[in-house]
Amino acid sequence: MYKLKIYLFLLLTIVTSLASAQNQTAGTTKILVMGDSLSAGYGIDIEQGWVNLLEKELTKKHAIQIINASVSGETSSGGNTRLPVLLAEHKPDIVILELGGNDGLRGQPLKLLEKNLQSMIGASKKIEAKVLLAGMQIPPNYGARYSNQFKELYPKLAEQNELGLIPFLLEGIGGNESLVQRDGIHPTAEAQPIIVKNVLPELEKLLP
């Protein structure tokens, strides 16, 4: 009888712990970041990257979990291919789309970029995830017409799909040599908190 009571007590403890863990998970907002090298922490320690800093900042007030699925060199085509599997696996509440920079730097057709971004937006909405689109810009040496149309694509998609929009992910960084790595493209570790400040106000609008 004594052993039976101990067994029942242990069983009850395990069940209670599992239920508590499930409740904690259920109350946690999952955020999936789909990005390229800007979000993957290229050239710096990943712990210093803006995605990691953002998670630390958000956990002060919110129960959140960030899944960083960013890959250096990623294009919108690659992101569009990978996203369905990630959505099925993680079932995020919010998807941050930070893609397109590599498309622009390679001079790829903007119609293709728009199609891929729209596809990712649609896939995210299909599972009822909110979408936050990170606006990007490219240097004017690609031609004023191409650069302007690239820049205008993000607010256009945000308006058409009623999305949250970060006007420009790297606002306050471009043009400041001390905040950009030697390649002239990627932000330094010191620039990462600035990116967090650009993301946070728009992201908090989507949080419960």
Residues forming the active site: 37, 183, 186
3-state class (DSSP) for residue 5: helix
Q: Closest Cα to residue 154, out of 107, 99, 200? A: 99
For the four alpha carbons of 10, 14, 15 and 20, in that order, the dihedral sign comes to: positive
* Distance between CA atoms of residues 91 and 156, nearest Å: 26
For residues 163-183, b (16+ Cβ closer than 10 Å) or e, as one string?
bbbbebbbeebeeeeebbeee
Among the listed residues 88, 90, 45, 82, the one whose alpha carbon sits nearest the alpha carbon of residue 66 = 90
Strand partners, 131: 95
The tokens describing 162, both together, are 């009623």
